[in-house]
Each structure stands twice: as structure tokens, then as C-alpha cells.
Amino acid sequence: MGVRRCAVRARANGWHYCHNESEARALDVLEIFAAVTGASLSAAIYSYANSRMARRNVEDSVLRLTMAVESVASKMEELHLDFKSQSREVFGRLNQMEQRLAKLEAKF
């Protein structure tokens, strides 16, 4: 069994030399495990970041909709008050006209 060169580049001094096949397989398995772990960790972090951003977007949307509903409600309240005051004015004038008409009818 000769010395086999493995593609493990994590060492600071360059290439690592394996002395037997089992050591080479173990390093291959370790390299695959490290790659899978790194990919899984990257996917988890990416997923977490996206979920936070989506949650923030939902919260912003709910806040905007709430503010819009409150704005519409306040505008409707103002409109209701305007209608109320106009109705008082119109019915007050109508009452005055009825009283004047009743006085005129009484004269004739």
C-alpha cells in the first residue's frame, strides 16, 4: 500500500497524505459530511432570514391596513357630523317656513 494523495485542502500546509485506504475513505466521508452540513446550515440560515423578512412584511401590511381603516373611519365620522349639522339647518329652516306659512294662512 503506497501513500495516497487525498483532496482535503483544509490543512494549512497544503495537501494531506493518506497512508491507507480506510483513512482515505474516512476523509472522503468527512469531506462529504462537512459539505452536507455546510449546505444544510446555509439553507437553514437563508430560510430563517426569509421568514423574518416575510413576517416583517406581513406586520407592515397589517399596520398600513389598520391605519387606512382608521383613516376611513375618521373621514366617515366627519361626514356624519357634516350631514347631521346640515340636516339641523335644513329642518330648522323648514320649521321656520311652516310657521310663517301658518301665520299667513291665519291672516287670510
pLDDT tens digits for the chain (108 residues)?
344 444 444 444 455 555 567 777 777 788 888 889 999 999 999 999 988 888 899 999 999 999 999 999 999 999 999 999 999 999 999 999 999 999 988 887
Classify 39 as helix, strand or coil: helix
**Per-domain boundaries in the chain:** 4-107
DSSP string for 54-68: HHHHHHHHHHHHHHH
Query: Residue 95: how many CA atoms within 13 Å on its side-chain side?
Result: 6
pLDDT value of residue 8: 43
What's the confidence (pLDDT) of residue 82?
94
Rounded to 5 degrees, φ, ψ at 59 are: -65, -40
Q: What pLDDT was estimated at residue 22?
A: 72
In one-letter notation, the amino acid at residue 50 is: N
